[in-house]
């Protein structure tokens, strides 16, 4: 590995220490404070914004790029350790403190080598991405649209992610008089199973011949509970539906509600539409060039989950992509870990990409 593509000791310490600090929403404050201090030590101008996001800006000029990662994690903290000199284990190492630390390290490198002339870079450690994205929603409502935005999510260092599926969280509930097992009245759990099957059929009818996971409506039954007190029966389903860009959430909800029959189907939160970025933009070209500059074979991806891209993308309507090291299959698992070699490659690639983007913006702005 070239020296350029190796993470420096202080860059490894940044990631290690950030992962060590628990930051499950709403308990991100310690991690936010730490990140602001580390950005300030690298010559960022920092502050904590009105919702609690960590914000650091470096560079100057008329062009502005936001590097938006998230600092919160899912629950399940376990001891941080480095195995074999390369694999850093810990909650958030992949999702998404690895990409967030990459943002800080790469922007600091680009500034040190004078590559940010004409470009202002704002790194944000957003709160609550794993809990309805209050940090990203605050930014969408209060921050003027930048010229470009990179979302910090794991996708492997050679990949540029151009889109995320949408998501809909639903609850089905049915309550009825208690039914005798030998009677004609179907018990509430059986009716609930029938309603679930009917909703799956609706989704499959929309999929048609589509075989691509990115293009399909994908319902998932996350929980099923039933109870009876001898007088009333109750059944409850917790459902998640992943949405492609071709399906409008409101229209799908109407169809699913009809399929639910006598049960009561409710949205637990506003649905998140899918979002897909433009491919032929200065930002994407810069990311491709950055990956290639470090010897990688750049490729595009779309992800089946959702991210803060789904929140700020429709609000800002700027050039956008997601980038970050790490294997997203390890998200939320007890085996979550990131390769420090890959982390180093991602820092070097993003450093080069920021320089390339700054050069394109200088040319555009004369």
Q: What is the pLDDT of residue 339?
A: 98
* Statement to judge: residues 53 and 201 lie in one domain: no
What's the rounded Cα separation, in Å, for the pair 318 and 139?
14
Residues in the chain: 366
Dihedral angle over CA of 214, 332, 317, 321, nearest 10: -70
pLDDT of residue 2: 56
Give the separation between CA 98 and CA 331, rounded to whole angstroms: 11
**What is the predicted pLDDT for the residue at 182?**
66
Whole-number Å distance between alpha carbons of 71 and 145: 21
Contact 143, 241 (CB under 8 A): no
CATH number, domain with residue 7: 3.40.630.10
Q: How many CA atoms lie within 13 A of 204 on its CB side?
A: 7
Q: Which residues contact 181 (CB under 8 A, 6 or more apart)?
A: 187
Would you call 181 exposed, middle or buried from its count of C-beta atoms within 10 A (0-12, 13-18, 19+)? exposed
DSSP one-letter string for 168-197: EEEEEEEEEE---TTSSSPPHHHHHHHHHH
Q: Range of 211's domain?
A: 166-267
Give me the residue label for tokens 């070097």. Answer: 348
Tokens, residue 306: 């959702």
**CA 69 – CA 124 distance, rounded (Å):** 6
pLDDT, residue 3, reads 55
Residues 9 and 149 in one domain: yes
pLDDT in tens, the chain (366 residues): 455 789 999 999 999 999 999 999 999 999 999 999 999 999 999 999 999 999 999 999 899 999 999 999 999 999 999 999 999 999 999 999 999 999 999 999 999 999 999 999 999 999 999 998 999 999 999 999 999 999 999 999 999 999 999 999 999 999 999 876 666 789 999 999 999 999 999 999 999 988 888 999 999 999 999 999 999 999 999 999 999 999 999 999 999 999 999 999 999 999 999 999 999 999 999 999 999 999 999 999 999 999 999 999 999 999 999 999 999 999 999 999 999 999 999 999 999 999 999 999 999 887
Number of domains in the chain: 2
What is the pTM (predicted TM-score) of this model? Answer: 0.92
Rounded Cα distance, 322 and 150, in Å? 5
Same domain, 293 and 144: yes
Task: Determine contact, residues 42/108, Cβ cutoff 8 Å.
Answer: yes
Whether residues 150 and 251 fall in one domain:
no
| Residue with the two structure tokens 């790194």 | 123
pLDDT score at 7: 96
Query: Do residues 143 and 33 share a domain?
Result: yes
Q: Among 234, 267, 300, give the residue marking a domain's end.
A: 267
Q: What is the CATH number of the domain that holds 222?
A: 3.30.70.360
Instruction: Report yes or no: 323 and 69 within 8 Å, Cβ to Cβ.
Output: no
Whether residues 144 and 124 fall in one domain: yes
Domain termination site, one of 221, 236, 267: 267
Clarify whether residues 153 and 20 are in a common domain.
yes
Active site residues: 72, 129
Q: Are 59 and 67 in contact, with CB atoms under 8 Å apart?
A: no
The answer to whether 166 touches 310, Cβ cutoff 8 Å, is: yes
Torsion of CA 116, 119, 120, 126, to 10 degrees: -90
Asked whether residue 42 falls in the same domain as residue 8, the answer is: yes
Q: Are the CB atoms for 357 and 109 separated by under 8 Å? A: no
Domain limit, last residue, from 267, 284, 309: 267
The 10 Å Cβ neighbour count of residue 183 is 9
DSSP 24: B
Q: Are residues 36 and 135 in the same domain?
A: yes
What is the pLDDT, as a whole number, of residue 271? 93
3-state secondary structure of 271: coil
SS (H, E, C) 122-166: EEEEECCCCCCCHHHHHHHHHCCCCCEEEEECCCCCCEEEEEECE
Residue among 114, 300, 284 nearest 214 (CA): 300
């Amino acid at each position: 590995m070239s020296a350029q593509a190796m993470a420096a000791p202080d860059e490894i310490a940044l990631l290690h220490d950030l992962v060590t600090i628990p930051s499950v929403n709403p308990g991100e404050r310690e991690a936010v404070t730490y990140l602001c201090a580390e950005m300030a030590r690298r010559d960022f101008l920092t502050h904590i914004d009105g919702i609690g996001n960590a914000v650091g800006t470096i560079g100057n000029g008329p062009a502005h790029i936001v590097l938006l990662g998230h600092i919160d994690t899912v629950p399940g903290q376990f001891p941080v350790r480095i195995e074999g000199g390369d694999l850093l284990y810990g909650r958030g190492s992949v999702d998404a403190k690895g990409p967030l630390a990459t943002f800080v390290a790469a922007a600091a490198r680009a500034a040190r080598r004078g590559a940010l002339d004409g470009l202002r870079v704002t790194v944000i450690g957003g709160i609550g991405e794993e809990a309805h994205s209050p940090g990203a929603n605050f930014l969408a409502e209060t921050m003027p649209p930048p010229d470009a935005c990179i979302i910090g999510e794991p996708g492997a260092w050679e990949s540029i992610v151009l889109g995320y599926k949408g998501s809909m969280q639903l609850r089905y509930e049915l309550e009825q008089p208690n039914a005798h097992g030998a009677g004609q009245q179907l018990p509430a759990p059986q009716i609930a199973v029938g309603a679930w099957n009917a909703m799956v059929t609706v989704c499959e009818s929309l999929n048609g011949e589509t075989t691509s996971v990115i293009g399909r409506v994908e319902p998932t039954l996350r929980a099923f509970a039933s109870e009876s007190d001898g007088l009333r029966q109750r059944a409850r389903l917790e459902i998640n539906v992943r949405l492609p860009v071709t399906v409008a959430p409101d229209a799908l909800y109407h169809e699913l509600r009809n399929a639910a029959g006598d049960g009561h189907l409710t949205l637990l939160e506003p649905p998140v539409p899918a979002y897909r970025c433009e491919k032929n933009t200065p930002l994407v070209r810069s990311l491709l060039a950055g990956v290639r500059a470090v010897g990688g074979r750049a490729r595009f991806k779309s992800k089946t989950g959702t991210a803060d891209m789904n929140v700020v993308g429709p609000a800002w309507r700027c050039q956008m992509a997601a980038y970050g090291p790490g294997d997203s299959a390890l998200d939320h698992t007890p085996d979550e870990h990131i390769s420090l070699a890959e982390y180093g490659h991602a820092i070097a690639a993003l450093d080069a990409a920021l320089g390339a983007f700054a050069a394109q913006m200088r040319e555009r702005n004369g």
